[in-house]
Amino acid sequence: MTDTDEVEIPEVDSVSGSGIPIHGNDIDTDQIIPARFMKVVTFDGLGEFAFFDLRFDDDDNQKNHPMNEDRFQGSSVMVVNSNFGCGSSREHAPQALMRWGIDAIIGESFAEIFAGNCLALGIPTVTADSETIQELQAWVDENPDKEIDIDIEAEEVTYGDETIDVTVDEAQRKALVEGVWDTTALMKSNAGEVRKKAQELPYVDDAAIPEAE
């Protein structure tokens, strides 16, 4: 084993923060982070480019967008509609949102690769039906400074006087709550079985399997 055991993986059993509503179905990752901002070899600094083309016009003047509004600066819970994060697999998308300040996303539904990328960063993507989400979006709009509490374990979201049931994908819930969402260390510890699996597969050349560490 290497020193991967030492990597601290925090448990994420709840997230709290004020909300920011982003309206619209099928918001793709090209909108969340346009490809031209991906010409970078690290994720640092992506936050300022989140939703760039929806936030700024050709002359870099601000457009109407929640992320430009003063009242939503400091918000950390994004409330979105259906099929959020569809399209490209770029992890740059959740990285940009995270670096802008987002810690959790509540929505009607998420594209799978996007949700997986969020999980890898410890960002929960919890879902509820369309009506519930629209009510929450409207509430956030009225109450931009008020806290939303997401209880991952109990699959509940509390805001104002309301507590609503939400769904957290089972594997995601376990991973977040038990602090095993960073899978590298976990899987590295099975290196012996992995080698065995490689040896069993007919198409893997012996030469492609390195000596055991």
Q: What residues line the site for another protein (CB under 8 A)? A: 2-4, 7, 24-26, 28, 30-31, 34-36, 38-43, 53, 82-83, 86-91, 94-95, 109, 111-113, 116-117, 120-121, 130, 170-171, 174-175, 178, 180-184, 186-188, 190-191, 193-194, 197-198, 200-205, 207-210
Residue 73 or residue 189: which is nearer to another protein going by CB? 189
With 0-12 / 13-18 / 19 or more C-beta atoms within 10 angstroms meaning exposed / middle / buried, residue 21 is: buried
Residue 142 or residue 200: which is nearer to another protein going by CB? 200
Looking at 56-201, list the stretches that DSSP marks H as alpha helix, in order from N- to C-terminal side: 92-100, 112-120, 130-142, 170-177, 183-188, 191-200
Q: Which two tokens stand for residue 90?
A: 């770029």
Q: Minimum Å distance from CB 103 to another protein?
A: 17
Residue 148 or residue 173: which is nearer to another protein going by CB? 173
* Strand-by-strand arrangement of the 125-127 sheet: 125-127, 104-107, 77-80, 14-21, 147-151, 156-159, 162-165
Q: Minimum Å distance from CB 145 to another protein?
A: 28
Residue type, 145: D
| 29 membership: H or E segment, kind and range | helix 29-32
Q: Minimum Å distance from CB 17 to another protein?
A: 23
Residue 73 or residue 204: which is nearer to another protein going by CB? 204
Q: Minimum Å distance from CB 136 to another protein?
A: 17
Q: Which two tokens stand for residue 201?
A: 């597969």
